[in-house]
């Protein structure tokens, strides 16, 4: 219970006023670039109501002031977890994986390890899809996937790598038998095999803040997150992510995230695939 606030009926539903929505909208935009446009009031109310009840807050104003006053950052992190959208699936937008396998990986034939960054990895389905594909395409080489997301809740699920059978729909049967282990509990779940899980590292990362890696990547997947940003934020994020690409490296974005309307330094390759210019082949083999 939040100190100094009276007990609240757990069935009560505090109303989200226009002022409340605007304050939360501005906070979400400043904290992690989420562009909550008019019309999202019910979504915000529904997703934050559990946090209000859990903390014993009578109004959204009480909750908003608490988030601002919390010096630990835990309240803001919980708000981000509640508002962040974590919809994903194995082999989502499959033509990207086909292009990666057929056009990109052959040009990385001399790389060992093969390193990728999966930004905005959500609950991990994209990470493990990449891991399976890389193990199939590069069976004799080491695989190193860096994965990141802003949501602690999503990262925890991604690291656990445990999924119900319905979440595994679409995975080729041969992959499923090779790379998943059946759970032992009453609930029918399947966990990514330990050898694949050892190939991925996870990190909480906010794409709108300053960040860096200790390496450049030949391939970065940053899909279906920029649709939640406005144009200005999209440009900043693409510039930051592109700076982590090595010359000649590929950036994959979601099919709903064409970069044609924003300024960037990348070359268009095919829908939702871009490449960083290079003056010479360098570490890339000619394909």
Contacts of 207 (CB under 8 A, 6+ apart): 32, 33, 119, 120, 150, 222, 225, 237, 240, 241
Is the distance from CB of 251 to CB of 222 less than 8 angstroms?
Answer: yes
3-state secondary structure of 209: coil
Largest CA distance in the chain: 68
Q: Is 49 a catalytic residue?
A: no
Which one from 25, 49, 149, 223 is the annotated catalytic residue? 149
Contacts of 47 (CB under 8 A, 6+ apart): 82, 83
Which one from 35, 47, 111, 197 is the annotated catalytic residue? 47
Which residue do the tokens 């594909």 mark? 133
Q: Is 167 a catalytic residue?
A: no
Cis previous bond, 96, omega within 30? no
- Cα–chain-centroid distance for residue 62? 30
Entry field: residues in the chain: 287
Two structure tokens written together for 196? 């694949």
**Residues tagged active-site:** 47, 149
């Amino acid at each position: 219970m939040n100190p100094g606030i009276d007990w609240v009926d757990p069935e009560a539903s505090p109303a989200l006023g226009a002022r409340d929505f605007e304050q939360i909208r501005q906070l979400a935009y400043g904290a992690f670039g989420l562009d909550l446009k008019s019309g999202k009031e019910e979504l915000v109310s529904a997703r934050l109501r559990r946090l209000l009840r859990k903390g014993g807050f009578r109004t959204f104003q009480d909750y908003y002031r608490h988030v601002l006053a919390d010096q630990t950052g835990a309240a803001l992190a919980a708000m981000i977890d509640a508002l962040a959208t974590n919809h994903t699936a194995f082999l989502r937008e499959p033509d990207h994986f086909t292009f990666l396998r057929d056009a990109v990986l052959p040009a990385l034939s001399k790389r060992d390890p093969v390193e990728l960054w999966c930004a905005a990895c959500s609950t991990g389905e994209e990470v493990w899809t990449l891991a399976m594909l890389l193990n199939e395409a590069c069976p004799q080489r080491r695989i190193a996937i860096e994965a990141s997301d802003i949501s602690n809740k999503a990262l925890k699920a991604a690291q656990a790598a445990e999924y119900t059978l319905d979440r595994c729909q679409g995975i080729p049967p041969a992959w499923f038998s090779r790379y998943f282990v059946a759970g032992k509990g009453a609930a029918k779940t399947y966990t990514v095999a330990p050898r694949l899980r050892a190939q991925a590292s996870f990190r909480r990362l906010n794409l709108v803040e300053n960040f860096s890696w200790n390496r450049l990547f030949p391939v970065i997947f940053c899909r279906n997150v920029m649709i939640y940003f406005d144009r200005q934020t999209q440009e900043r994020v693409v510039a930051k992510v592109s700076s982590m690409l090595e010359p000649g490296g590929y950036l994959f974005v979601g099919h709903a995230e064409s970069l044609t309307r924003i300024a960037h330094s990348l070359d268009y390759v095919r829908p939702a695939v871009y490449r960083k210019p290079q003056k010479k082949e360098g570490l890339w083999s000619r394909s």
